[in-house]
Amino acid sequence: MSDSSKEQEQMYGYDVILMAETVYSIDTFQNLYNLLKLCVSHPNGVVYMAGKKHYFGVGGGTRQFLSVVEKDGFFAANLVAEIADGSSNVREVWKLSPK
């Protein structure tokens, strides 16, 4: 890739993408992941993902989505917060950054 192509690639995309309660359906994981890769600016963009650790009855969750992230290797994933109040499902906030 030429230097000008790299510069153009870095000019496009969003610096920050926020998403919440979007990883509850395993069937949509790959499409969602591909969209994030396409829309985040590289290398300085960031995605914040908030959701439940497990969605009972539908099979999704933050940890299942992270398996797609880790398999591809485009993003680094860091846990920002875990909310466990003892009376409801554990919620998490993750930061995804292009490597």
pLDDT of residue 39: 96
Question: Helices in 16-56 by DSSP H: which ranges?
Answer: 29-39
- Nearest-angstrom CA–CA distance, 34 and 40: 10
Q: What is the DSSP letter of 75?
A: E
pLDDT tens, position by position, 84-94: 988 788 999 99
Percent of residues, the chain, with pLDDT higher than 70: 89
Model confidence pLDDT, tens digit, residues 10-47:
568 999 999 999 999 999 999 999 999 999 998 899 99
The domain segmentation of the chain, as residue ranges, is 16-98
pLDDT of residue 11: 61
> Strand locations in 1-99, DSSP E?
16-20, 46-52, 75-83, 91-98
Does the domain at 16-98 match CATH 3.30.2130.30? Answer given as no
The pLDDT, as a whole number, for residue 88 is 80
The model's pLDDT over 44-63, given as tens digits with 9 standing for 90+, comes to 999 999 999 998 877 899 99
